[in-house]
Amino acid sequence: MNKIFGTWIFLMFFVPFSWGATIFVGDGGEDSAPTTESETSSDKETEVDDLDADPFEPINRKIFYFNEIVDGVLIDPVANMYKMAMPFCIQKAVSHGLFNLGEPLTFTNDFLQARGTKALESFSRFLINTIFGFGGIFDVAESLGLPKHKESFNTTLKYWGVPTGPYLIVPILGPSNPRFLAGLGGDYIMDPVCYYMREMDEESLIWARVGVTFMVTRADITDDIRNFRENSIDFYAAMRSFYKQYMSAERRDNGELVHRSPSLDEFMVDDIGL
């Protein structure tokens, strides 16, 4: 009883403090120094150049066609079933819950990127949404002025200047690059949630989380992929272009996650030049 009482006393004082400290620090912390236009432009050009490199195209195409078979038989039907059968409110709750499970990893990578303000935000978001958002299915923290942002070991490597490397097609996973794959390995090792599950001997929950995340992500872009498949002459080149734009669409704007899928018109204009 004393432990439970002590825990609630801690939460009653720490949650308001952490939220207030985050708002007080705001965007003026040392970790949020403004980025010049030339620096942003240079980073963007480097990323695009790396993603355009496809030295392994012959083998990439073979793996791509294998993935197409698996996608048509298994992945696409499951993603469509999820999208059609689940009410939008349930889909939103699942997305919020998955995002909340990723907050400790975001906190870890904020710390590795020396972004103290963002680390405090992600820690506060996880604490608030886990307790008051019923495990994270409701984003209470955002309504309190703590916008979501997402970091991974991939973005940490990018922060410290590691290039993406050449374009790759990975069996089942699809389009990727060496830095992203290294990031996945780093995430698995450093993710506090994964570490806790391993310590509890519940690795099956890790793979269940990976599977649900994969399905939700695939469901989000299923319409785009179908349009590209139906409207492109070379679907492999089309997906390579889509991947480049999909990765480039994720930008950090004052620490907030900005993500969108490119429209079909934008995609087709880029695809003509391939």
Residue 174 domain flag:
yes
For residue 172 the two structure tokens come to 């089942």
- Residue 200 belongs to domain spanning: 46-85+152-272
Residue 164 domain flag:
yes
Residue 62 domain flag:
yes
Residue 137 domain flag:
no
Residue 179 domain flag:
yes
pLDDT mean for each 10 residues of the chain (274 residues): 39 40 39 41 52 85 96 92 93 95 96 94 96 95 93 92 92 92 94 93 92 91 85 89 72 46 44 36
Q: In the prediction, which pLDDT does 223 show?
A: 86
Residue 250 domain flag:
yes
Q: In which region does residue 36 sit, left (phi positive, over 0), alpha (psi from -120 to 50) or beta (all else)?
A: beta
Residue 143 domain flag:
no
* 253 sits in which H/E element: strand 251-253
For residue 24 the two structure tokens come to 């007080």
Residue 225 domain flag:
yes
The model scores a pTM over 0.75: no
Instruction: Work out how many domains the chain is built from and give that number.
Output: 1
